[in-house]
Each structure stands twice: as C-alpha cells, then as structure tokens.
C-alpha cells in the first residue's frame, strides 16, 4: 500500500459509515473532478510560496500541511467521486485564526474550500482545483451546556457522536443523528443543513440551532451565538449559514438545543407487502404512536438484500418486498410498550405488517440500526454507486425507483430506494461494476426531471455541492437563483468561498 493510500485508508476508516468496508486500500485514486466533469479554473490567484510562508509564520506545526501525501486525503471525498488539487491544508484552532485566513485569502484573491468531517455526498467539502482547504478538525472544544434549557455551545469541528455521548451523560441527546455521526462535524451538519434519521421527531436544524458564529469571506466575525429559544432582534442571520454549504461564510461555533434523553426507546422492524402498505402503516403509526414516534424509515427488498449480502450483516426477519423501521422515544416504558404493542397487534391483524420484531434491548436495537445505516455504504462493494437524495410528496415517493428499474434494465447491477418516510425523503442508489458515462447520462438529468414534475426537491438533505449546481434549476426558479447570486455577491464579492459549488455559472 502506498503511503498516501494508507493515509487515506486511515482517514476514511475512522468513519463508522464505512464499517467493515475495506475497498479503499486496494483501489485506484479517483479521477480529478476538473477532468471528470470538464470544469474550468476561475481567475483566482495561484498559491505562491510567500502565501505558504505567511501561514507558516502565524500558525504552529501541524496546522499547515503541504506535503503531497499529507494533502491527498483532504482532496478526496469518501465516495471517491471527486478529487481536487489543493496544495495547502490549514487547520485553524480558533475563530480568530479562521478570520485571519479568510481576510488574507480575500485580500489576495485566493480561493478557499471549508471542510468539516468530509462525509458529504455531493463533493461540497473537497476542492476542485487548488483551493486552500480550511479544515476545522482542531476546533473541537465543547464550550458550555445548560442542562436545564438544553443549550449546548461548541466549536464547529466537534464530531457529532462525541457531542451526543457528552450530552447523553447529562440527560440530553443531540437533536440530529445520521449515519456519518462518527466522522461528521457539527459545523458541517449546520453548513449543509443535514437532516438525518430523527428529523421527524426533533425537527430540522433551522429550528434546533439557537445560534451560530461564522466568519464571512472578508474575515469579519458574525456573532449570532445566543442560547435563546426566542430572539427577534433584526434579521435572523444564522439561517444564512445553515445550508449554504460554506459559500457565504465558515461556521466556527454552534449553539444548539438538545432535547431530553428519552427514558424508554423501542424499535420495530417489519416486513410489508407493498409500498402502499408502507404509507398506510405510516398513517397508522402517526395516529397510534403519536408523540413517541421518533423515526419511520423504509427500505425496499433490494436495499436490504444488498446490504446483507455485501456486508454480511444479518437481517432479523425474512425476505419481504418492503421493510419498515419504527422507533419510539418516550418518557415511560410501560406506556410506550403498550402503545407499540397495540399498534403491532392492530396492524398484524389488519395485514399491513406481515412479519416483524420489536425490541428494547440496546444490542438488538443497535444491530437493526446498523443494518439500516449500512445501506448507504453497502452498494460501494458492487463497484460504483450513483447516489441520489430527493424529496417527493408521499403519494409518489417510490415511483422513481420503479421507473428507473424499467429504464435501466440489466445495464446496472441494482436499483434500490430507502429513506425517511416521515420526511418525504428517499435515497436512490444505482450500483454498477464501475463508473460509466452511459449510465450517468441515462440517470441525469432524467431523475431530476422526474422529481421536478412531482414538485419534489432534487436534493433533500445532501445539498448541491459540486455535483448539482447545473441541476438546481429543477428545484429553484430564475428569481430565486437571482436572489441567491445577489446574496453571494453581497457576502463574498470576490467569490473566494467554496467556488464551483452550489450556484451554477451564469
């Protein structure tokens, strides 16, 4: 194993998304994004030795990486779809250091790629050309936690799982949970408006984030880091940084509202006959489980089968056309069990649930969640995965999978859908032995056209990043795009922040 690949392997292996997947070590480097997608470099200044010298003069050892082998892992996204050519990685340790970097880069017209845990799926967190990577990993301090109100304040580089462990010990949980939790940063979650598994219950980040501290392109620190649930004093600036994928500013600190740790958690995993039954079961769960419902996830047969086969993860029940995972978070175990049992017996009797298992044992619940969360990575073992993440109103939620299967036939290995029914969010994976332009052109823009026809969103939770700017018009009209451009111009007039991302060229 070459040194650089070994480092890359170490980097990606830290992520629990990948679990036992070991494919990185043996495979080749992905093609450069600029070549693969035919992108032209914009007129930013090229990095000079004097720039590197400047950063070395203000930072300590370990904060400025320039060796080829050191910078490589920061240039590649974890699904090996994108590769940039950055020659400089900066690892600031404070907001003031981020401010100094951006003020300098803005002055010198040097492009910057802000980077969190680099677990994104749309190439938003890796450079395209030689942008300077500003990686927030060393900004990982937890500042304060108010146990009565649930307000947590921490730096952007804190890993989501670390935060969740911390607040759990104090009777709270993080309001967000996703497969990449072992690697992703809270700053990245906020910058990409990450959704995840329990949005249904705890709401989205626009609702949960109480405050943000961010640095604008010119180095100005915007301090909106209050821990108040209500604060109507002027424009709600924090929302500019939630979901703008590092193109309007770099998030440096986050204040977030943590709900109470549920005293009782249960999980059901059910087999169903049809997608129509999945929707009927969702309606019934909303009514029967009410306020304790914390997740309602679905996966089709192929998604589960592939995961079981590729990753050797056991399926706790038999083979069914559709699977549903129902989770409850509540404050009284007896009450919750009663609700869940009543729901289960009613729906087994009605025939909506053909087979299933319910458990409150932590180890068993972990196994079921592991199966669900592993779907995202399992397809990579087929070779290459085209991944889509779209929102579609529920009635037509699953149509796209069926129409893709019909369209692609045996040109691909697998087409499967899984996702968060409660949020109208489906993930579609198309697996092939290796990346193929032919398949790519069959998929795009076809999928986006279909989603637009159904009034859906071409990116539900993964964002636009590098991969989707040219398709954003399927979800946003010309006036909205124009306003986005005006905001970008106002907040980053030289366009140094995360170029080639989010907004399409005019």
In the range 444-473, which residues lie near a second copy by CB under 8 A? 455-464, 468, 472
Among 60, 230, 312, 406, binds a second copy (CB under 8 A): 230
Binding piece for a second copy, criterion CB under 8 A, among 69-77, 296-304, 356-364, 477-485: 477-485
Backbone angles phi, psi at 357, to 5 degrees: -140, 145
Residue window 328-367: x/- pattern of binding to a second copy, with contact defined by CB under 8 A: -xxxx--x--xx----------------------------
Closest approach, Cβ 292 to a second copy, in A, equals 6
Q: Distance (Å, rounded) from C-alpha 325 to C-alpha 420?
A: 10
C-beta atoms surrounding 422 within 10 Å: 22
Beta bridge partners, 200, equal none
Closest approach, Cβ 259 to a second copy, in A, equals 9
**Scanning residues 127 to 146, which ones bind a second copy (CB under 8 A)?**
146
Closest approach, Cβ 396 to a second copy, in A, equals 12
Q: Residue 208, interface with a second copy (CB under 8 A)?
A: yes
Whichever of 292 and 299 has its CB closer to a second copy, that residue is 292
Token reading at 473: 């018009």
Whichever of 1 and 228 has its CB closer to a second copy, that residue is 228
Closest approach, Cβ 343 to a second copy, in A, equals 11
Residue window 311-330: x/- pattern of binding to a second copy, with contact defined by CB under 8 A: ------------------xx
Closest approach, Cβ 146 to a second copy, in A, equals 7
Q: Residue 393, interface with a second copy (CB under 8 A)?
A: yes
Looking from the CA of 382 toward its CB, the CA atoms found within 13 Å total 26
Residue window 210-229: x/- pattern of binding to a second copy, with contact defined by CB under 8 A: ------x---xxxxx-xxxx
Q: Please report the beta strands in 228-354, taking only residues with DSSP state E, as ranges in sequence order.
A: 250-257, 264-272, 293-300, 322-330
Among 56, 141, 236, 346, binds a second copy (CB under 8 A): 236
Q: Distance (Å, rounded) from C-alpha 318 to C-alpha 309?
A: 14
For Cα atoms 367, 370, 373, give the angle at the middle one, nearest 5 degrees: 155
Closest approach, Cβ 59 to a second copy, in A, equals 24
Residue 3, C-beta contacts closer than 8 angstroms, at least 6 positions apart: 69
Closest approach, Cβ 144 to a second copy, in A, equals 11
**Scanning residues 148 to 207, which ones bind a second copy (CB under 8 A)?**
148-149, 192-193, 195, 199, 203-204, 206-207
Cis preceding linkage at 445, omega within 30 = yes
The radius of gyration of the chain from alpha carbons, rounded to an integer in Å, stands at 23
| Count of residues near a second copy by CB under 8 A | 92
Whichever of 313 and 502 has its CB closer to a second copy, that residue is 502
**Scanning residues 14 to 53, which ones bind a second copy (CB under 8 A)?**
none
Whichever of 129 and 202 has its CB closer to a second copy, that residue is 202
Residue 20, C-beta contacts closer than 8 angstroms, at least 6 positions apart: 311, 312
Looking from the CA of 381 toward its CB, the CA atoms found within 13 Å total 18
Specify whether the backbone of 415 is left (phi greater than 0), alpha (psi in -120 to 50) or beta: beta
**Scanning residues 239 to 298, which ones bind a second copy (CB under 8 A)?**
239-240, 242-244, 248, 260, 262-263, 279, 282-283, 286-292
Q: Distance (Å, rounded) from C-alpha 145 to C-alpha 166?
A: 10
Residue window 398-427: x/- pattern of binding to a second copy, with contact defined by CB under 8 A: ----------------------x-xxxx--
Among 142, 308, 394, 439, binds a second copy (CB under 8 A): 394
CA distances from 286 to 58, 201, 399 (A): 55, 11, 23
Q: Evaluate whether 408 touches 430 at the Cβ level (below 8 Å).
A: yes
Token reading at 136: 């927030």
Determine the length of the chain: 506
């Amino acid at each position: 194993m070459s040194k650089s690949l070994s480092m890359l392997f170490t980097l990606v292996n830290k992520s629990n998304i990948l679990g036992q997947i070991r494919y990185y070590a043996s495979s080749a480097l992905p093609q450069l994004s600029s070549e693969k997608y035919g992108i032209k470099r914009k007129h930013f200044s090229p990095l000079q030795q004097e720039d590197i010298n400047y950063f070395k003069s203000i930072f300590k050892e370990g904060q400025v990486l320039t060796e080829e082998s050191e910078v490589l892992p920061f240039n590649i996204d974890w699904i090996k779809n994108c590769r940039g050519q950055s020659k400089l990685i900066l690892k600031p340790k404070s907001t003031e250091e981020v401010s100094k970097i951006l003020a300098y880069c803005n002055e010198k017209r040097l492009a910057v790629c802000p980077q969190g845990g680099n677990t994104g799926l749309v190439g938003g967190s890796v450079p395209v050309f030689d942008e300077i990577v500003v990686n927030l990993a060393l900004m990982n301090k937890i500042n304060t936690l108010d146990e009565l109100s649930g307000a947590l304040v921490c730096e952007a580089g804190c890993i989501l799982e670390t935060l969740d462990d911390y607040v759990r010990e104090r009777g709270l949980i993080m309001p967000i949970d996703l497969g990449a939790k072992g690697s992703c940063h809270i700053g990245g979650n906020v910058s990409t408006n990450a959704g995840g598994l329990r949005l249904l219950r705890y709401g989205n980040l626009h609702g949960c984030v109480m405050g943000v501290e961010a640095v604008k392109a010119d180095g100005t620190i915007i301090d909106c880091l209050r821990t108040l649930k209500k604060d109507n004093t002027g424009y709600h600036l924090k929302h500019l940084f939630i979901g703008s994928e590092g193109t309007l500013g770099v998030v440096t600190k986050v204040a977030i509202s943590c709900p109470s740790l549920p005293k009782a958690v249960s999980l059901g995993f059910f087999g169903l006959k049809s997608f129509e039954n999945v929707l009927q079961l969702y309606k019934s769960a909303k009514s029967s489980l009410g306020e304790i419902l914390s997740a309602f996830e679905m996966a089709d047969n192929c998604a589960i089968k592939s995961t079981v086969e590729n990753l050797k993860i056991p399926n706790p029940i038999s083979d069914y056309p559709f699977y549903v995972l129902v989770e409850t978070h509540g404050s009284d175990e007896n009450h919750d069990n009663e609700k869940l049992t009543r729901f289960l017996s009613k729906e087994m009797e009605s025939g909506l649930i053909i087979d299933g298992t319910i458990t409150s044992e932590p180890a068993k619940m972990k196994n079921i969640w592991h199966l669900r969360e592993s779907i995202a990575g399992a397809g990579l073992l087929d070779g290459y995965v085209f991944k889509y993440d779209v929102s579609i109103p529920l009635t037509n939620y699953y149509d796209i999978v069926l129409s893709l299967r019909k369209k692609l036939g045996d040109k691909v290995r697998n087409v499967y859908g899984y996702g968060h029914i409660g949020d109208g969010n489906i993930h579609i994976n198309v697996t092939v032995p290796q990346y193929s332009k032919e398949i790519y052109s069959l998929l795009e823009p076809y999928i986006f056209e279909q989603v637009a026809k159904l009034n859906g969103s071409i990116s539900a939770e993964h964002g636009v990043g590098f991969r989707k700017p040219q398709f954003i018009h399927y979800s946003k009209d010309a006036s909205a795009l124009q306003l986005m451009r005006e905001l970008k111009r106002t907040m980053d007039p030289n366009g140094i922040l995360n170029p080639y991302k989010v907004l399409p060229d005019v």
